[in-house]
Amino acid sequence: MTPTPAAVEFRRRKRALTRRDIAPRAKGGSIAVNLSRLQPVSLPSYRIEMAGSLRTNDGAEDADRIAEVVEALTLEEKVRLVHGTYPDWGAPKAGAAGYLPPIDRLDIPALRFEDGPLGVKSTGGTAFPASLALSAAFDVDLAEEFGEAIGSEARESGVDVILAPACNLVRVPTCGRNFEYYGEDPFHSARVTAATVRGIQSRDVVATPKHYVANTQEHERVSVSAEVDERTLRERYLPAFEAAVEDGDAGAVMAAYNRVNGTYATEHRKLLTDVLKDEFEFEGPVVSDWWAVQNGPDAARAGLDLEMPGVGAIDWAAMLDDRLQLLRFVETVWPETVPGPEEAAAWLFENKGGPGGDASPHRSSFARTLPRELDRDGFAEDRLDEMVERVLTLHERVGALDGQRRSVAGPPPTHRELAKRIATSGAVLLKNAAETLPLDREAAVAVIGPHIDEAKTGGGGSSAVRATESVSPIEGIRARSTGRVVAERGHPPIETSPPFGRKVPSLGRIASAWTSPIEDARSAAGDADVAVLVVQDDAAEGRDRDSLSLPGRQDALISAVADIAERTIVVLQTAGPVEMPWIDSVDAVLELWYPGQEAGTAIASLLYGETDPGGRLPVTFAAADEYPAASAERYPGVDGPRDYPEAKHDEGVFVGYRHVDEYGIEPLFPFGHGLSYAAFEYDDFDVSFDETGPSVTVTVENAGERRGRDVVQLYVRDRDASVPRPPRELAGFEAISLGAGETRTIDVGVDERAFAVYETEQGEWVTEGGEFALDVGRSSRNIRATAAVER
């Protein structure tokens, strides 16, 4: 694959840095780089003028040090470094999803791996909003700031490798992990992913973009094969990983559970070695998802470098003798899964140690098989050495290769203000009839919903961060309102799905006095000026949602309240799209995804207009049967000739809005949609060219009466395509905040890639000559200006 010109230029300049540009920093062996040498690359999509330290992991000294270590390692030590083991339970910060043991003899310390995409788990750090909220902000600077925050929290709590960002493309609207991902557009998702990676790694912590690749569903995730043609892989499912490596310099990549075209992602030579390592020039280790290695030798030959967690099922079961340890493990890795060790034991036995678990009494497939595989079928010690070298780049990146590893310094910082800012910047105002919002602070409000006294911090599974402090919706509203506030649940608690299994009743703070019937909610709404309904869905890793309906009788609750209330506002806390049968009977709808620990503060600040809802939809909201994956062959897949289901991705490149646009479907809310309390007008639209390609300028005026946040979106249309191409594809975006009456001219560059298609035969990106339209708008269906360009 041909890297973009800016990426090539960035790499060239990075390599050209001389020792003079690199000054040793005080701590941990990191290196500060004179970034002025990198700044002249000017494409807006490549923010190489990044702040903070940039490790020169291609420095000759580091490579020498790694080579020295490999030389000094025994075979047994090499094998120890390519798979995880038991966490070091004795250490003060024991909780971690994965643990790589030390080699004390050579002063190589242990490494800790921890989830994940919504914050650093088990460290007492911040429970951030869902990744979809971050992506809805359409703001690469914010994504980088988020990365820096979780990087600092990880670093301060002794975590070396963060198992994030999760950057699978949203294809199946009910996928249980959509809230962990960055949406349905590959260009946008790639930019947010790369920025998050840069942020994390600026704190000398390694990021692990995951799950490579085409992990588009949770149903049968450890056996399903994503059947997907090469053009679609290149244009849809690979770009986020490509950007994570080429623009983000990701230090690790996690290989997924699923198969791709019949071969496990962990054993896929073409994807791991040819594409990721050779084409994208990824220099770190490919890490397996937890228990995703099916066949150690095949995986090692194909390009997998590190098996995680490296501990088999029976080992976990043996831990039953130490209930405290088992409970700690279960609490750490899957907090919502099971209430106690007995249940945990049953679960572990049933699942043989984890999804795709290896029931062997030995710890790791690599440990068991690699020594005996040496010199067989092309598996030479050279390959083992390469695996170890790649693993040691993790140590090198966190400053652990020279015995100077940092010490763990007390409780990690928290980032409450940032968590709130992400929640508000990513909140999408879907509907606002007759300017119902923002609310007057004196209004009498009935706050209604099954979990109004809990902050919705995320979905179930490995990304669940247990918040140490949080603000619930009712607390947030009470703190802001100067009028009467009445609270009613109106609905029993929503059951929460544990990952991989059956539903259990929510363990949230449920007081029986709170469970009030719909009638109580209606009467509270009838007595108030406005009803604010806070509703939510239920999503978790390991299982997909059954439908796009809100669970329980929440739809009925909304309709019943809307029927009586003077004005009705629905606050959604969902993992992605939901159907809204009540949409015409409510006045306003505000989507907050999973807003994180500052939920209440964010909701109140939006309702009362202290902050403009800044988000735009990174996923299309449509009826379940209007998505491309609406047939059993496409999702969840049907059994093929072999013993696993195949999910045919034969909608090809027509995923998300590209599908509804192509087939003329009117979605409930289109990709890119989001209203504002301000009023934006676009003027002076112009296109110019320089050596990097076209760029578009547009003047945006806030003609409203309050500060607002807008996201200018640029779409490309190929008017003369000879191959099937979506009617419109996102090619640029820029988030801006403007005060009332303020005007700003913005400039959005278009990468050549936006015009190109991936030609499978030639194995490269090709721009067909002809006319293209550049559309500037406020959503994929709200275009304000168009220009034609020739390529």
Q: Enumerate the active-site residues.
A: 289
Coil, strand, or helix at residue 530?
strand
Q: Could you write out the DSSP letters of every residue in 132-198?
A: HHHHHT--HHHHHHHHHHHHHHHHHTT--EE---B-----STT-TTGGGS--S-HHHHHHHHHHHHH
**CB nearer to ligand BGC: pick between 294 and 779:** 294
User: Least distance to ligand BGC from the beta carbon of 479, Å?
Assistant: 35
Give the count of alpha carbons within 13 A of 590, CB side only.
33
**CB nearer to ligand BGC: pick between 163 and 387:** 163
- Out of 153, 289, 358, 710, point to the residue binding ligand BGC (CB under 6 A): 289
Q: Is residue 85 a contact point for ligand BGC (CB under 6 A)?
A: no
User: Least distance to ligand BGC from the beta carbon of 342, Å?
Assistant: 22
Structural tokens at position 720: 């003369």
Give the integer Cα–Cα distance in Å for 184 and 220: 21
Give the integer Cα–Cα distance in Å for 401 and 389: 12
Give 339: exposed, middle or buried? Use CB within 10 Å, 0-12, 13-18, 19+.
exposed
Coil, strand, or helix at residue 595?
coil
**CB nearer to ligand BGC: pick between 545 and 567:** 545
Longest dimension (CA), the chain: 79
**Which phi-psi region, left, alpha or beta, contains residue 291 (left: φ > 0; alpha: ψ -120 to 50)?**
left
Give the integer Cα–Cα distance in Å for 192 and 188: 6
- Out of 212, 290, 621, 680, point to the residue binding ligand BGC (CB under 6 A): 290
Rounded to 5 degrees, φ, ψ at 214 are 60, 35
User: Least distance to ligand BGC from the beta carbon of 317, Å?
Assistant: 18
User: Least distance to ligand BGC from the beta carbon of 256, Å?
Assistant: 8
Residues 6+ apart with CB under 8 A from 458: 118, 127, 130, 179, 464, 465, 594, 596
Structural tokens at position 515: 């469970």
190 to each of 19, 236, 241, 275, 286, how far by Cα in Å? 31, 10, 7, 16, 19
**CB nearer to ligand BGC: pick between 114 and 751:** 114
Rounded to 5 degrees, φ, ψ at 679 are -130, 115
Give the integer Cα–Cα distance in Å for 490 and 568: 15
Give the integer Cα–Cα distance in Å for 39 and 13: 10
Q: Is residue 181 a contact point for ligand BGC (CB under 6 A)?
A: no
**CB nearer to ligand BGC: pick between 391 and 660:** 391
Q: Is residue 150 a contact point for ligand BGC (CB under 6 A)?
A: no
Q: Is residue 163 a contact point for ligand BGC (CB under 6 A)?
A: yes
- From the list 686, 699, 760, 704, the residue with the least C-alpha distance to 734 is 699
Whether a cis peptide bond, with omega within 30° of 0, leads into 213 is: yes
User: Least distance to ligand BGC from the beta carbon of 290, Å?
Assistant: 4
Terminal CA-to-CA distance of the chain, rounded, Å?
20
- Binders of ligand BGC among 705-764, rule CB under 6 A? none
Q: CB of 252 within 8 A of CB of 282?
A: no
**CB nearer to ligand BGC: pick between 116 and 199:** 116
Q: Is residue 348 a contact point for ligand BGC (CB under 6 A)?
A: no
Core vs surface per residue 14-52: b (16+ CB within 10 A) or e:
beebeeebbeeeeeebbbebebeebeebebbbbbbebeb
User: Least distance to ligand BGC from the beta carbon of 789, Å?
Assistant: 41
Q: Is residue 97 a contact point for ligand BGC (CB under 6 A)?
A: yes
User: Least distance to ligand BGC from the beta carbon of 460, Å?
Assistant: 11
**CB nearer to ligand BGC: pick between 166 and 700:** 166
Beta strands in 515-583 (DSSP E): 530-536, 568-573
Beta-bridge partner residues of 669: 621
User: Least distance to ligand BGC from the beta carbon of 163, Å?
Assistant: 4
User: Least distance to ligand BGC from the beta carbon of 355, Å?
Assistant: 6
Q: CB of 453 within 8 A of CB of 472?
A: yes
- Out of 78, 83, 191, 210, point to the residue binding ligand BGC (CB under 6 A): 210
Q: CB of 408 within 8 A of CB of 158?
A: yes
**CB nearer to ligand BGC: pick between 290 and 677:** 290
- From the list 423, 422, 456, 464, the residue with the least C-alpha distance to 177 is 464
- Binders of ligand BGC among 561-620, rule CB under 6 A? none
Strand order in the sheet with 588-591: 428-432, 588-591, 568-573, 530-536, 445-448, 485-488
- Out of 333, 560, 730, 735, point to the residue binding ligand BGC (CB under 6 A): 333
480 to each of 440, 445, 483, 600, how far by Cα in Å? 10, 11, 9, 10
- Out of 45, 365, 369, 462, point to the residue binding ligand BGC (CB under 6 A): 462
Q: CB of 593 within 8 A of CB of 575?
A: yes
Structural tokens at position 200: 């994390």
How many residues make contact with ligand BGC (CB under 6 A)?
Answer: 9
User: Least distance to ligand BGC from the beta carbon of 717, Å?
Assistant: 36
Rounded to 5 degrees, φ, ψ at 699 are -100, 125
- From the list 175, 74, 161, the residue with the least C-alpha distance to 120 is 161
Q: Is residue 160 a contact point for ligand BGC (CB under 6 A)?
A: no
Q: Is residue 116 a contact point for ligand BGC (CB under 6 A)?
A: yes
Q: Is residue 115 a contact point for ligand BGC (CB under 6 A)?
A: yes
Q: Is residue 294 a contact point for ligand BGC (CB under 6 A)?
A: no
Task: Name the residue type at position 147.
Answer: G
Strand order in the sheet with 111-114: 98-100, 111-114, 161-162, 206-207
% helix / strand / coil in the chain, to the nearest 5?
30, 20, 50
Contact track, ligand BGC, 497-536, x by CB under 6 A: ----------------------------------------
**CB nearer to ligand BGC: pick between 57 and 462:** 462
Q: Name the residues that contact ligand BGC, by CB under 6 A.
A: 97, 115-116, 163, 210, 289-290, 333, 462
